[in-house]
Chain A
Amino acid sequence: MTADDVQVIGLTLGTAALSTLLTFPFGVALAWLLARKNWPGKSLVETVVALPLVMPPVATGLILLNLLGRRSPLGGFLQNVLGTEIVFTWKAVVAAMAVMSFPFLVRTVRLAFEEINPRLEQVARTLGASRTRVFLTITLPLAARGMVAGAVWAFARALGEFGATILVAGNIPGRTTVMSVAIYEDIQLGQDDHAYQLLAVSAVLAFAAILFSNQFSKWGGVK
């Protein structure tokens, strides 16, 4: 394994972790709102969040490219006001991973919230607990396993992200090339042996993430 490979693996792990960390609080908040509250526009938000699951990743990437490009209002604001360029940088990798993995996070955490018997929260309130205390001491601990599982699934999905990433971040060695893109490039160039090496690393990482998620569910089980 070369230094370039280590760099690719490191960039993939780092961007996947960052995208999971950045989306986690929003994903948990949205999952709770979807599971526990009724509000105008809920169905629309549910649909938009689920879109990356069913749309071609390349199409999602194209939308991101248009949203974050210099000529878009958002991209222009980021470039001119904050001095930050997104497209074709590692930040675009994070953005693509975040958008593509967000539905996995929200769906898993939402299920965890929905599985909690609302009676537990109601009884806690009659025992004198404020809404905040109920959320922190009843809802969050009971949803913790689902939240960890959601984060792990989102991380694993981010590790394998390809379609949106290649469109919005490209394939710039040392800057935006992640494992999935490197594997694709190796196959294109006929470097199958190298592709299989990265494939093995990718499989081990995904396997470890899912194994951890499953084991955590067992350890954290309510007795």
Chain B
Amino acid sequence: MKFQCRHLQLRQAGFLLQIDVELTGQVIGIFGSSGAGKTSLLEVIAGLRRPDSGVIAVDDRVLMDLSANLFLPPENRGVGYVPQDLALFPHLSVRKNLAYGHKPEAVPSGLNLAHVAEVLEIEPLLDRTIGQLSGGQKQRIAFARALLASPQLLLMDEPLASLDYELKLKIIPYLKRIRDEFKIPMLYVSHSPDEVIELCDQVIVLRGGKCLRTSRPDEIFEASTSMTLKPGIYDSSK
């Protein structure tokens, strides 16, 4: 995927998001601490928030070009959005959650309920209510729901942030399966270097609403079990 986010500017109460990046990768991480603008950027890409200016394109597909007054609504963007709180529909069964955005007649091969359920190991959960699921199960259902809408781009907003370390270790393999099995380009927001190293081939480092740099994860994170930033990363320019 070639991801372009050109001259993006979003002004909101006391905060200014200004991003101008173009990079290529299958899974692109958006890394930064709280308040860096990661979620705002994802919401702009999903079409949930209209910025003041900018262009967003994935490969040759322009999702937004405000200079040409183009702003595709969320339902036409072909994105699968998994927010941090997952936002599973509490009044619908698991099966109905999965069916909500699923158009069986329009999906590419492989993105059908049976296959997605098999890959994410959720077959036994299909007839449960959302309240009957554990945290890790909810996570997988949220991934499956986004996948079944046949997105051209997956947007993951810190999907593992609320999980404890052990559960995180259990979920990461499922994310790898999504990456390797379905090959849908993904933007993966995280403030955790280990997740970025595990999953992403490129990373955008955000701080204070601005892009500090873009690079391969191994160029900015220590390749060690401590999973810490190399010294000086936040000081360096792009």
Contacts and interface: CB of A to CB of B under 8 A. Distances in A.
Interface string A101-140: 0000000000000000101101111111110000001100
B131 A117 contact: no
Given A126-B46, A126-B75, A130-B75, A120 B131 contact: no
B85 interface: yes
Interface residues of A, number: 18
Interface size bracket, B side: 20 to 34
B74 A125 contact: yes
A196 B232 CA distance: 83
B87 interface: yes
A69 B171 CA distance: 70
Nearest to B93: A223
A81 interface: no
Interface string B44-81: 00111000000000000000000000000111010111
22 contacts: A117-B85, A119-B85, A123-B83, A124-B100, A125-B48, A125-B74, A125-B75, A126-B46, A126-B48, A126-B80, A126-B149, A126-B155, A127-B80, A127-B101, A127-B145, A128-B149, A130-B75, A137-B100, A141-B91, A222-B90, A223-B129, A223-B130
Nearest 8 CB-CB pairs, A to B?
Answer: A127-B101, A125-B74, A126-B81, A119-B87, A123-B87, A222-B90, A223-B129, A223-B131
Contacts of B87: 117, 119-120, 122-123
B49 to A, nearest CB: 9
A31 interface: no
Contacts of A124: 89, 100-101
A44 B173 CA distance: 54
A128 B101 CA distance: 6
Contact of A126 (B47, B89, B91, B132): B47
B79 to A, nearest CB: 6
Contacts of A127: 75, 80, 100-101, 145-146, 149
B176 interface: no
Contacts of B75: 125-130
A120 B48 contact: no
B43 to A, nearest CB: 8
A137 B130 CA distance: 16
Nearest to B155: A126
Contacts of B132: 223
A143 to B, nearest CB: 10
A222 B83 CA distance: 21
A74 to B, nearest CB: 41
A142 interface: yes
A130 B101 CA distance: 11
A122 B46 CA distance: 9
Contacts of A128: 75, 101, 103, 149
A138 B85 contact: no
Contacts of B91: 141-142, 222
A190 B136 CA distance: 70
A129 B130 CA distance: 20
B158 to A, nearest CB: 13
A103 B132 CA distance: 37
A142 B103 CA distance: 24
Contacts of A130: 75
A128 B76 CA distance: 7
A119 to B, nearest CB: 4
A160 B74 CA distance: 47
A117 B83 CA distance: 12
A126 B79 contact: yes
Given A119-B83, A122-B74, A222-B90, A129 B131 contact: no
Interface string B7-44: 00000000000000000000000000000000000000
Task: Output the residue of A122, A137, A138, A142 with the most chain B CB within 10 A.
Answer: A122
A128 B155 CA distance: 15
Given A119-B87, A125-B73, A127-B145, 4 more contacts: A117-B85, A123-B87, A128-B103, A223-B132
